Amino acid sequence: MELLVEGAKRLGLTLTRTQIETLDKLYRLLVEWNAQFNLTAITEYDQVQIRHFLDSLSCVLALRGQTGQDNKPLSCIDVGSGAGFPGLVLKIYCPKIDMTLLEATGKKVEFIEFAIQRLGLKRIRAIKGRAEELGQSPEHRERYDVAVARAVAELPVLVEYLLPLCRPGGLVVAQKGASAQEEIQAAEHAIALLGGRLRKVLSVELLGLAEARNLVLIDKVARTPDKYPRRPGMPVKRPLKPD
């Protein structure tokens, strides 16, 4: 885990021995399951450290200063978590967070649940489902302090997944690559319509990764209109645009 430890230091983060050991266990579980279920195309030890673990840890930079409601622990939902990134890594680094991982693929949810059990993580759950459905569920709609996602959809679509899940006063964190500014321009209408306001874009340099990485931070400043998110598939089929 040398790459991960050094890369975290460059982000201003320090991993404890326990966290390093837990992430190493997570890597081994990932490779074991991936041999059967094709959870991820990235399985090389160094690449997992950089592209899964370090990339996930970069989200910690966006969480600084965020607080839960009424002195409760920060609640976070990772939408489209895949094999558990960034949600599992964030939970390992920030154990006090209440973490929910949302994923539509059953085998990936099974892996996340298995990893949670094997790693002994508490106050974390995996849900099989779609963001459009959870966003209309009273149990989840506008319930989270932070909604985060990476590699799920372009921003005009992604904000319709994330903003309805985020409470007013909360934060959306979208992990993006070099196209961040272009996607932000395309998503301006959707962000405003859904109750969001762009806070800033954090550029992140990851050790061993040449590609640009950005964290797009969007504050939830107003309630999302009741009709959003639309039914499953509609945000992708008809992204929100000005009339």
Read off the pLDDT of residues 89-137 as tens digits, 9 standing for 90 and up. Answer: 999 999 999 999 999 999 999 999 999 999 999 999 999 999 999 999 9
Cα gap 123→121, rounded to integer Å? 7
Predicted TM-score of the model (pTM): 0.96
Which percentage of the chain shows pLDDT scores above 90?
87
Relative to beta strand 196-204, strand 124-128 is unpaired
Close Cβ partners of 16 (under 8 Å, ≥ 6 residues apart):
none
Q: Any idea what DSSP says for residue 80? A: T
Q: Which of 186, 184, 168 is nearest to 176 (CA)?
A: 184
pLDDT-derived band of residue 151, with 50, 70 and 90 as boundaries?
confident
Q: Where are the beta strands (DSSP E) in 88-226?
A: 98-103, 124-128, 144-150, 166-176, 196-204, 213-220
- What is the strand order of the sheet 124-128 is part of? 124-128, 98-103, 75-79, 144-150, 166-176, 213-220, 196-204
| Buried/exposed 204-243: b ≥16 CB within 10 Å, e otherwise | bebbeeeeebbbbbbbbeeebeeebbeeeeebeeebbeee
What integer is the mean pLDDT of 65-92?
94
CA 86 to CA 103: how far, in whole Å? 12
Domains and their CATH numbers in the chain: 2-237 (3.40.50.150)
